[in-house]
Chains A and B, each alone.
Chain A
């Protein structure tokens, strides 16, 4: 089985969010970069588990970005995976990025393409569905459990107020949410091995971005908490009804 795992570079969860250039660019000053948590914890680890169960499995990692994403892709390789592909392009448009991933996918006939459920920066949750449409295969979004046996995958996905279990033949694109796998910490052997794993750089295929970010902004700051004494809960209920109009 051949698996492609999509990896994105995102600011650390605790990073300060600020913008520069007249609010048109994310301020990267002092920002720590990480592998998008959903890509790392769920899709990559599940791919590694599938390889551990069947040693003939081949895992490729793919990322779209300039050279500054290489430390992130090396970090992902330290967890596992056989080789990495970096598409040498920089874009924030989901369609452009998905087109690059699909371009590589079409040449390599993957049985399975994994993404995280979304990235924690642009929160688009779009790449998986777009890649699936571009390579014309089924897409199961927000999987919480994933198993494969022969050519058939059994996937549990979130639905409102519960879950749905389905069976679908490979090839397939799956976006992974909590439950698919558990976070792993890379060990020293993995970190050493990652240094000698192949990291191929390919040039982008032509694609036109369909959207563009005009500007960013921050939500208005909260006015500050209004504290109510613990022996005066009725006052809280009154405020929620009359002031906040929330109940």
Chain B
């Protein structure tokens, strides 16, 4: 019996969220005394055997051209075949964009109970219970899985990657790959930036910046921290910043280690998208801004004065 971890890749690169899923899956395998295995679909330019350092012993690789484009229906079919032939009893996904598309389908295909958005290791002493976020991060639920095969999709940034020694045996899988009904016609990526959902640190700004021409100081701070950029809804709606930077209930929900909010008042809809961040810093000139109530650290001050000083202090600390 095994724990099977889906290793998500994009253009041949394994995503960071999948390294967390591998670590998490290997931990579960250790708890129950099974082996941890991984599955990769499509062509990969990285050394898959090296992923063994996260605790997986074997990696099933299905290298077929059809799999170089994402199609949840095809991916589910192939992962389902491998899960059945290897006798996987727990299947782990990252609850990222691809995981959200595949895990529910696989749940139906294998009649396996799914816990999506898990934030901790399962409790296995009395059944199989997994803690997940509910109510947009305002609460959690302990969900029991009643089926023989179980699927967990792990929230990104909620389980820390651990690397040791070890190499995985990479085996080429002979799973049948069905044809895809989805034709991908374009992929538009903002290159050279840290993807928002994978970023450890996020620097975010709101209407307090007064206009898109003032984003230079925010970008410099983000650059000094190697952070991703984000913004509040009014900023995206006014087209000061692109929509893919909008975090909050209607935009993207994130859970970085550090979230720095500049000139954002902290409406409940914004908090719903960022309240799972481990540390929150708020910079706002209004001491009554509701965001201060959700913050760990705060500065009541003018962003145009504080942010450049912040950047300088970070650079000084890092010696750059």
Task: List the interface of chain A (C-beta within 8 A of B).
Answer: 11, 13-14, 17, 19, 37, 41, 94-95, 98, 120-130, 132-134, 137-142, 144, 154, 157-169, 178-179, 209-219, 222-223, 225-230, 233-234, 236-241, 244, 246-247
Contacts and interface: CB of A to CB of B under 8 A. Distances in A.
A236 B279 CA distance: 12
Given A214-B129, A230-B299, A168 B181 contact: yes
Interface string B183-199: 11111111001011110
A164 B134 contact: no
19 contacts: A13-B268, A37-B249, A94-B107, A122-B141, A123-B116, A138-B182, A161-B190, A165-B185, A169-B181, A178-B243, A178-B246, A212-B146, A217-B140, A217-B142, A218-B139, A228-B298, A228-B299, A244-B297, A246-B258
B297 A166 contact: no
B272 interface: yes
Nearest to A127: B104
Closest A-B pairs by Cβ, 4 of them = A230-B301, A129-B104, A210-B113, A162-B189
**Residue among B132, B201, B250, B298 with most chain A CB within 10 A:** B250
Chain A binding site: helix, strand, loop or mixed by DSSP?
mixed
B73 A139 contact: yes
Interface residues of B, number: 96
A153 B145 CA distance: 36
A120 B187 CA distance: 29
B206 interface: no
Interface string B230-247: 000000000000011010
Interface string B288-308: 000011111111111001100
Interface of B: 10, 15, 70-73, 76, 96-97, 100-109, 111-117, 129, 132-147, 181-190, 193, 195-198, 201, 225, 243-244, 246, 249-252, 257-258, 268-269, 272, 278-279, 281-282, 292-302, 305-306, 309-310, 312-314, 316-317
Given A98-B108, A139-B73, A247-B258, A233 B306 contact: yes
